[in-house]
C-alpha cells in the first residue's frame, strides 16, 4: 500500500504515480 514502487504512494509520498490517481486518495 505504502510503497511508491507499486504506485500507490501515500500523501506523504506526494500522491504516488498518476496511474493510481484517485485510488491513492482512497488509501
- Quick: pLDDT tens for 2-27: 445 555 555 555 555 555 555 555 45
Identify the pLDDT of residue 27. Answer: 53
Residue 16: all three cell numbers together:
504516488
Whole-model pTM?
0.11
Identify the pLDDT of residue 18. Answer: 54
Residue 27: all three cell numbers together:
488509501
Identify the pLDDT of residue 25. Answer: 55
Identify the pLDDT of residue 1. Answer: 44
Residue 17's contacts (CB-CB under 8 Å, 6 or more residues apart) are 4, 7, 9
What b-and-e string marks burial along 1-27, b requiring 16 or more CB atoms within 10 Å of the CB? eeeeeeebbeeeeeebeeebeeebeee
Half-sphere exposure of 26 (CA within 13 A, CB side): 6
Identify the pLDDT of residue 24. Answer: 52
Amino acid at each position: 500500500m505504502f510503497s511508491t514502487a507499486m504506485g500507490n504512494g501515500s500523501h506523504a509520498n506526494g500522491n504516488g504515480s498518476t496511474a493510481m490517481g484517485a485510488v491513492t486518495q482512497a488509501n
